[in-house]
């Protein structure tokens, strides 16, 4: 029996300010991990809209994507179950907006934390994905692509 390979489409907000990156500390099946504000792309939204939504849900901050950092493919095997998962991540740079102080963080998010590049490198064993470090490195290297690189057909947006 042939099984169709279906990587999970995810979106991430790579947020830097004053030499630090905004990460979330979250509960995962592998324990408490650090991640960029990120999650699965939802039906009826463009990747940029998904990144803005995930940033708000996980940090309580509004986020306006201004550039595509990159598109990443990574594979992960869950130690507890052996499940083989592949993620296709669209990572965005942007402007961090207002904080909704009364907004509860998404389920599983313990807290937000600002970390320096050195702190992020030193905590690699706690990263949810190798893409946390890779996205930071790409940002520091000056990678940026126009948002128009990703076209979302209106038929997708009409799913809402």
Bridge partners, residue 26, by sequence: 33, 109
Per residue in 111-155, pLDDT (tens digit) is: 999 999 999 999 999 999 999 999 999 999 999 999 999 999 999
Bridge partners, residue 67, by sequence: 93
Going by C-beta distance under 8 Å and a sequence separation of 6 or more, which residues neighbour residue 29? 78, 80, 81
Report which of residues 93 and 79 the model is more confident about. Answer: 93
Average pLDDT over residues 105-115: 97
Per residue in 27-66, pLDDT (tens digit) is: 998 899 999 999 999 999 999 999 999 999 999 999 999 9
Which one of 3.90.79.10, 3.40.630.30, 2.60.120.10, 1.10.3720.10 gives the CATH number of domain 8-144?
Answer: 3.90.79.10
The yes-or-no verdict on residue 160 having pLDDT over 80 is no
Q: Residue 16: its pLDDT value, please?
A: 97
- In order, the DSSP letters of 60-103 are SEEEEEEEEEEEEEEEEE-TTT--EEEEEEEEEEEEEEEE-TTP
Q: Tell me how far apart the alpha carbons of residues 2 and 147 are, in angstroms, rounded to a whole number.
A: 36
Q: Tell me how far apart the alpha carbons of residues 74 and 76 are, in angstroms, rounded to a whole number.
A: 7
pLDDT band at 84, cuts 50/70/90?
confident
Q: Tell me how far apart the alpha carbons of residues 44 and 53 are, in angstroms, rounded to a whole number.
A: 12
The yes-or-no verdict on residue 1 having pLDDT over 60 is no
| Contact in structure between 14 and 93 (CB atoms under 8 Å) | yes
């Amino acid at each position: 029996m042939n099984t169709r390979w279906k990587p999970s489409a995810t979106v991430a907000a790579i947020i830097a300010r004053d030499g630090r990156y905004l990460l979330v500390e979250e509960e995962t099946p592998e324990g408490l991990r650090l991640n960029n504000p990120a999650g699965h792309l939802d039906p009826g939204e463009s990747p940029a809209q998904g990144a803005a939504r995930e940033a708000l849900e996980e940090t309580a901050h509004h986020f306006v994507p201004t550039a595509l950092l990159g598109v990443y493919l990574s594979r992960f095997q869950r130690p507890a179950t052996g499940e083989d998962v592949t993620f296709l991540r669209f990572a965005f740079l942007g402007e961090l907006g207002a904080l909704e102080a009364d907004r509860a963080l998404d389920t599983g998010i313990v807290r937000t934390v600002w970390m320096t590049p050195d702190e992020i490198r030193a905590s690699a064993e706690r990263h949810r994905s190798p893409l946390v470090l890779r996205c930071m490195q790409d940002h520091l290297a000056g990678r940026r692509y126009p948002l128009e690189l990703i076209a979302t057909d209106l038929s997708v947006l009409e799913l809402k």
